[in-house]
Structure 1
Amino acid sequence: MDESAVTRPRAGRTRRQAPSAGLIAGLVLLAGIATAHSEAQALNQAPNQPPAQARNDAARLQDLMALLEQETELATRSGMNADFVPGMATILIGEDLMARGVRTVSEALALVPGISEGIEMTGERQILSRGVGYGYASGNLKILLDGVSMNATLYATANPVLNIPIEQVERIEVIRGPGASVHGEYAYAGVIDVITRKRQRSLGAQVMDGGDRGTVWGGGGAWYWQDGTRELSASFNVLGLDGDAGVDVAQDGLYVIDLPSLSNAPGPSNESRRYRGLFANLNWRDFFLAVKLLDDDYGDHFGVNHFLPPDDDRLASRQGYQSLQIGADLTLSGDLSTRLRLEALRYERDRDDLFVFPADLFTTDPVYMSQNYQETRYLAAADIHWRPNDRHQVLLGLEASHVEVDEATWDWPEEFAIDYPWLDDSLNRRILSLVAQDVYRLGERVTLTGALRLDDYSDASTYLNPRLAAVWRVNDENILKLQYARAFRPPTFYELAYPGELTDSVEAGEIATYELGYILRKHSWKARMILFHSELTDPIIFDDEQSGYANSSDVRLRGAELEYEQRLGAHLRLDANLSYVDSLDRGTDRPLAGGTDLLGNLALLWQPVEPWTAALQLRYVGERERRPDDTRPPVDAYTTADLTLSYGSASAGGVFAHLGVKNLTNADVRYPDQPAGFPGLPLPYLDDYPRPGRHWWASVGFAF
């Protein structure tokens, strides 16, 4: 137990709904603790159990031990028990997510305490962490795919990764709060690493109700091969989806300016999609090669200017990645090892016939426009892991990256000539980074972590981000954590190109966070709590009044996150979390726009007989704040329920199947609208962004 504490060398405001939600969560936690206590007494009093009961207890113990001993490299770049890392890490397992009815990476992230979903008007996914992340093209999270950074320098987002189906995911590792001391840029409000499935052989198909517009369907497979004698292995993971989807929209922005006759509303949003994902890996001895191909096409949803697009199922936006990674994990001596990486990543974002204006608003015909953008990033990195003695684990890292814009075009129809600038295709950025980290074991139960990262930008500035953390394992059941960390969020190419009218330049935003964590681990249950306080300095926002990007006033965040996991007997498992955040924009004296103060999740997974599993997943989202200039009431709170029945799993072999109903109670789910509008024509979306009501999905396959 002691050795696992040290890393190893690598080969707003209180709402009226809050009391009821808090009371429910509190009762669940108390019931779980009472059940755990009674189970412990029963096991201690009945050592001679029947064989069947013994097998159940053994299975339960194995499940719990796997849960307790999960490891992650996300916090420190070295393997460490997830409970012993600085800060609080959450690990979501792909098979468990499938059993709960989760369909995409973005849906999975909503199960993490403090994280909520949002959407941009044309379909760009947004993830808010502790209330941070609302706004047009906001990118405040570092998003990794198998350890490769996928944040594009255009907007700092990685939409195709958030749309990856769970069928392709082995696990998702998440750290809330700053992570820049290890991961650098955009590790501002958290770090996410999506790990794809590699050691699996399977074929599968899936289908989902797309609402009144049709269905979304597709399929794929995974394959791996290994030769132990040659120390050679290879894997492929491929999946494709196609279909039409949408939700009913009653009123769009044209109703605000009293032009309903020009509107396509009432009508459906255009959420047609086409997804293609292929991940390939080759390993030979200490060397590895990885290829990632992502192509994510989708409709223009609610319209770029809040004018509902026509009902024609167009795929108006495309985002794609092509990534190549080559590297080696080399052992130089008994206490020294290194990881070397070379990466090349191309990002493409194309908009083909994006609906801009309806007919008769400015011209006789509807106005469509097209954009093409490409950037390429090259990276060379070396991590050195040095363990001079049993108490020290030292990491020294060097990274050099270069980003350049390959193409940036913006085309308008001849009858609507517009002189509005787009990006300069000669833009480029060079980053040189140095990382130093020491994980030091002070005695048998206290581990200290100190980290410092320096990032030098050719087109911005130089940033220094520290982290200091202590983990005290009071005993085998109780763990205390303290952490101070800073992070930065550099301006993107788009933000540098479009500063606000009163803004000379856009500077990096910074965040400083203090955290106090506590973990209680029992034989059949585990509880975790974290208290945090964050100060955001000069956060970057899209300023409606300036029609561009600017550094806004400072923000204060403080809150708490609770997690609880419990085995209720041999066949029933409970998983719950509750998070509260009190945010304050010091410039407006209001909570952060787009966020909520209260989030909660509750899952019950019942396995009456092998291999059947039934799961009920409840999700509560409190009232969500609007922009300071929006006088409408906050977006209503909601609770959704997802019900899923599963047979087998892809990791167990043989036939597996999942059948689920999303939003079982047909709750009215809406995301707050984003700032939008042609310059001089900012319009709210009167319906906000409604999300699907009750709908079904199914996934079947065979693992061999």
Structure 2
Amino acid sequence: MKKILAFAAVAACLVFAGEALDVATMTEKDIAKLTYAQLMEMPLEDLMVLADKLGVSVDDLLNMKISVSSKKAMNTRESPGIISLITEEEIRNSGARTLMDVLRLVPGFEFGYDIDGAIGPGMRGIWGHEGKVLLLIDGQEMNELLYSTLQFGNHYGVANIKRIEILRGPGSCVYGGFAELGVINIITKKSDDLNGVSASVSASTMANDFGRTAVNFGVGKFFTNVDFSVTGTAGMANRSDRPYIDASDYYYGPESDAAKETFSNVNANVNIKDLSLRLIYDRYATRTSDYFDGETPVYNSFDGYYGEVKYDIAALSNLTVTPKVNIKYQIPYNFLDERYPYDRSALRFSGNTIANYDYSEKLNIVAGAEGYYDYATDRLDDPESVFGNDEKNISYYNVSGFAQGLLKLPHTNLVAGGRIDGHSAFGTAFSPRLGITGPFEKWHYKAIFSRAFRAPGIENMNLPSPDGTEITPERTTVFEVELGARPTDNMFLTLNVFDITITDPIIYFYYSDNDGNDVEWYENQERSGSTGFELEYRIKYGWGYGNVTYSYANPHITDKFDFFDKNKVPSYEVPGKENMVLGLPQHKLTLNGCWLRGSLSINPSLIYISQRFGSFGNGIIDKEKPSLITNIFVQYKNLLTNNLTAGIGVYNILGQKYDYLQPYYVVDSDLPPHPGPSREFTLKLSYDLGL
């Protein structure tokens, strides 16, 4: 009953608010420079003023231009992909603590616990932690190169994000082997967004321990031909204040610091006319008590250094050529504890050139080529700690080419593209994409066919199966259909249906032999995947905005057709439940909204996660009951002085005992649920100073 009342209370609070902006002095040229993200931050009254100045409808004005699904910026109703866009305003009003808070409000996203303190993403009912979901920050690939994983938890802050573009579907045609299921494209604040100095602090507490503390800053300035920006964040956090009992019944309470995490990030960018330079430093450290039999938990750290040089060449009025060079150096899963030492680094040099050619107003062609060279090093002093080639170093290379054509016809757009990759170890992979999209005044449709692949990581190839079978890439086939309607200028309704089949999925295996030695390897299994749909309703008035989403994913729709029996991976199976997989929910419902009056905003949100199944240690698979996570964040701008903003919030108001489950079962490596945060009270302060 308490859950039902909370659900009704939050739903009743979903009155929606936008931020009033002065647009009376804007010229047509000023309006033309606005992005969709900026438009979405405006109330309807302001949008009507801008639309009237241009002599168009609000519907036409709200054509959003994004590029996450294609190298060509397109209207989201035309773009060949299922897209979510989250703006800076939505992030700030929501009071999101980390990137996980933002993604949890996106259809199809949920998170699970891997090993060694790592929290990874699931997408559309599929465990995507190892190389299936690509994360980009200002164009830099954040997936680590050894296992291809992403670490969430308290890793990624949101204070310096301008917008997030999410492709909920395969992106291998454009981005290569980490984009099998989706792409998270983060664009941070630039010089013209900062135009001075900004700083913010946040702190929170849970019932039995502190929650998190963070300090964020941003500095940026735009000059005639040069602009620069530097943003950063640093802090510490607690994954949970609840006790954890491991598979051997050892107890780890808050006093053990078993859930402590630290994080830091610095992102610097300089633009000199058409030349762009970027450097990113990123560090995340978590603790793990897995396999340590009650002893002191140890740190597991992830360090990354990223650099890019990019230059836009306007070869012709309708042709732009963009060469770029990237370098990234990472030290992931760094254990310096003598019980389980692991110290390996990975270096990638990559180059890329893209040509964007507008043959006419109706025909656009994007083509490019890229290549990379990977070099991994074992840094331990132990001479027996080597790669599969019996050396302290190992290297691979990859070359690829891609092209896409876009033909615009009345109420119909045709998109065809493909990418071919040739890898020194696993051979070639081809990723085609075909799409037809149709934008009309009040509705649109999309039908998309894609092939994608997941490239094996360095350690995936380094740990082959005991019988010597070599790893091959995963091959994924995806069918997607989307229908969207706009009943009024301030309402958006979309429904998409998807079918995902992964052939030869790369699966982890582990056991401890009779002598107590760890034996681990990767091998390709038969197939996995899911079928489902996602529904989203968005509303935006002059006095508010909000959205409701529902997502459903099922690995086994029916026994009548083998095509719909997706999961053939035993380690993902739930005994007696063919229509579910371990760790991830079949249903998810979210509500999120913001109400604003003057300087005050109130942002309630709700996330309902259906029952899940997971390992409880020692070979036991059991049910985790549904979770209803309710939050509220209240914010006041220009508090006491101009540009000072304060916010207070409560997360997990009902104190739900949400746990992160391991989305796979492995003998001798099955872990009990890892506790998530309890009720958390947070305070945020931010200040902007123009220069």
TM-score by length of structure 1 reads 0.81
Provide the residue aligned with 2:277 in structure 1. Answer: 289
Provide the residue aligned with 2:37 in structure 1. Answer: none
> How far 1:409 sits from its partner (Å)?
2.8
For residues 638 and 68 of structure 2, what CA distance do their matches in structure 1 show? 27
* Structure 2 segments unaligned to the other structure (5+ residues): 17-41, 51-57, 512-518, 557-566, 571-577
C-alpha distance after superposition, 1:105-144 (max 9, x if no partner) = 122111111111122232222111111126xx62311111
Provide the residue aligned with 1:574 in structure 2. Answer: 546
SS in 2 for 1:634: strand
Q: Would you say 1:586 and 2:586 are equivalent positions?
A: no
Q: Would you say 1:699 and 2:664 are equivalent positions?
A: no
Q: Would you say 1:391 and 2:362 are equivalent positions?
A: yes
Provide the residue aligned with 1:495 in structure 2. Answer: 460
**Is this contact kept in 1: 2:77–2:438, CA < 8 A?**
no
For residues 327 and 164 of structure 1, what CA distance do their matches in structure 2 show? 25
Does 89-98 or 612-621 show the bigger shift?
A: 89-98
Provide the residue aligned with 2:630 in structure 1. Answer: 641
SS in 2 for 1:370: coil
Q: Would you say 1:402 and 2:384 are equivalent positions?
A: no
**Is this contact kept in 2: 1:283–1:289, CA < 8 A?**
yes
> How far 1:478 sits from its partner (Å)?
0.7
What is the alpha-carbon root mean square deviation over aligned residues?
A: 3.2
**Is this contact kept in 1: 2:113–2:660, CA < 8 A?**
yes
Provide the residue aligned with 1:145 in structure 2. Answer: 137
Identity %: 18
Letter in 2 for 1:436: A
Letter in 1 for 2:316: S
Select which of 527, 531, 534 maps to 1:558.
531
Q: Would you say 1:599 and 2:588 are equivalent positions?
A: yes
C-alpha distance after superposition, 1:75-104 (max 9, x if no partner) = 111211222211211111233122212111
Q: Would you say 1:71 and 2:65 are equivalent positions?
A: yes
Select which of 469, 474, 478 maps to 1:504.
469
> How far 1:648 sits from its partner (Å)?
2.6
Provide the residue aligned with 2:503 in structure 1. Answer: 537
For residues 555 and 497 of structure 1, what CA distance do their matches in structure 2 show? 23
For residues 250 and 326 of structure 1, what CA distance do their matches in structure 2 show? 45
CA shift in 2, pair 1:369/1:250, >3 Å? closer
For residues 637 and 93 of structure 1, what CA distance do their matches in structure 2 show? 29
Select which of 202, 213, 219 maps to 2:215.
219
SS in 2 for 1:181: helix
**Is this contact kept in 2: 1:210–1:244, CA < 8 A?**
no
Letter in 2 for 1:275: F
CA shift in 2, pair 1:410/1:496, >3 Å? farther
**Is this contact kept in 1: 2:240–2:675, CA < 8 A?**
no
**Is this contact kept in 1: 2:283–2:302, CA < 8 A?**
yes
C-alpha distance after superposition, 1:653-672 (max 9, x if no partner) = 71112211111110110121
CA shift in 2, pair 1:531/1:190, >3 Å? same
For residues 619 and 62 of structure 2, what CA distance do their matches in structure 1 show? 46
Select which of 62, 74, 84 maps to 1:80.
74
Q: Would you say 1:194 and 2:186 are equivalent positions?
A: yes
CA shift in 2, pair 1:614/1:555, >3 Å? same
Select which of 163, 173, 177 maps to 1:171.
163
Provide the residue aligned with 1:38 in structure 2. Answer: none
> How far 1:297 sits from its partner (Å)?
2.0
CA shift in 2, pair 1:308/1:420, >3 Å? farther
In the TM superposition, 1:328-407 aligns within 5 A as 328-349=311-332, 351-354=334-337, 368-407=339-378
**Is this contact kept in 1: 2:613–2:621, CA < 8 A?**
no
**Is this contact kept in 1: 2:15–2:595, CA < 8 A?**
no
Q: Would you say 1:618 and 2:611 are equivalent positions?
A: no
SS in 2 for 1:98: helix
> How far 1:573 sits from its partner (Å)?
2.4
Provide the residue aligned with 2:561 in structure 1. Answer: none
For residues 426 and 393 of structure 1, what CA distance do their matches in structure 2 show? 44
* Structure 1 segments unaligned to the other structure (5+ residues): 1-17, 33-54, 355-366, 413-418
> How far 1:532 sits from its partner (Å)?
0.8
Q: Would you say 1:690 and 2:679 are equivalent positions?
A: no
Letter in 2 for 1:219: V
> How far 1:214 sits from its partner (Å)?
3.4
C-alpha distance after superposition, 1:518-558 (max 9, x if no partner) = 11123111011101111111111113578432212212421
For residues 647 and 148 of structure 1, what CA distance do their matches in structure 2 show? 34
Provide the residue aligned with 2:36 in structure 1. Answer: none
SS in 1 for 2:583: coil
